[in-house]
Amino acid sequence: MKKVKVLILRTAGTNCDYETQAAFELCGAVVERMHINSLIEKKDRIFEYDILAFPGGFSYGDDIASGKILANEVKNKLGNAVKKFALSGNPIIGVCNGFQTLVKMGLLPDPKLFEQISTLSFNDSDKFECRWVYLKTESKSNCIWTKNLPDIINLPVAHGEGKFIPIDNKLLESLNKNSQNVFKYCTKNGEKPGYPLVPNGSVDHIAGICNVKGNIFGLMPHPERYVFALQHPLKEGFDGKYGWGKIIFQNAVNFVK
């Protein structure tokens, strides 16, 4: 059986790379954490892997804006390779700071355009928000990462700049029409919530999006922090042992297999 190889790209300030590695390894993948400088030296190494992950953290101290420096670095020094990797249909995930990076380099929501047309900005509360939230899953989405998830799941968030803002209403309509809004913040019963269940004031309650094809996925909540039921404060799990995050990573590994 094919061994699925995952590349986790890290840099100064990345701090969720080990958790992301553990999540993928739990799902049977072979994982390598690589500093961005090493990949810049040999760009074609990216094609030795099946999945690319941008983990959470505070890359470069989130100077200027969260994920912005890393986004510019990836786009200017690795842009052609990353775009080719994405358009080939390989799974790519960006979690929290990784989501900010994907959006600000323009890989989401449209890797063909590869231009920034949305952003993730400061929370409406103007402070760091850290809690468990409920997420409504878009059942019509092509997102390969969210297959077999129920209508409502919960994951933890921890960010200061998670407010998703599309460039205009036309883009928002397009995201909804194409079922690219994969996760939206909701109440436990699936209703539209206010603060603090929407921790950032995100437009249309958006918590995660994908590209039209569904191989590129970015989200503010942290699935790597909920792969075991014991990581939940109430010890909840879909089968008593694992958390919803495991399904997300397992979906990508199974897709490649």
Residues marked active site are found at 96, 222, 224
CA angle 166/136/198 to nearest 5° reads: 60
Residues 6 or more apart from 158 whose CB is under 8 A from it? 56, 96, 128, 129, 130, 222
Cα distances (Å, whole numbers) of residue 16 to 180, 193, 257: 25, 28, 25
Residues 6 or more apart from 83 whose CB is under 8 A from it? 107, 111, 114
**Distance from C-alpha of 211 to C-alpha of 217, rounded to nearest angstrom:** 7
The 10 Å Cβ neighbour count of residue 203 is 15
Q: Which two tokens stand for residue 66?
A: 């969260």
**Distance from C-alpha of 208 to C-alpha of 199, rounded to nearest angstrom:** 13
**Is the Cα dihedral 206, 10, 90, 76 positive or negative?**
positive
130 - beta bridge partners?
A: 158
Residues 6 or more apart from 200 whose CB is under 8 A from it? 123, 124, 125, 129, 159, 161, 162, 163, 164, 220
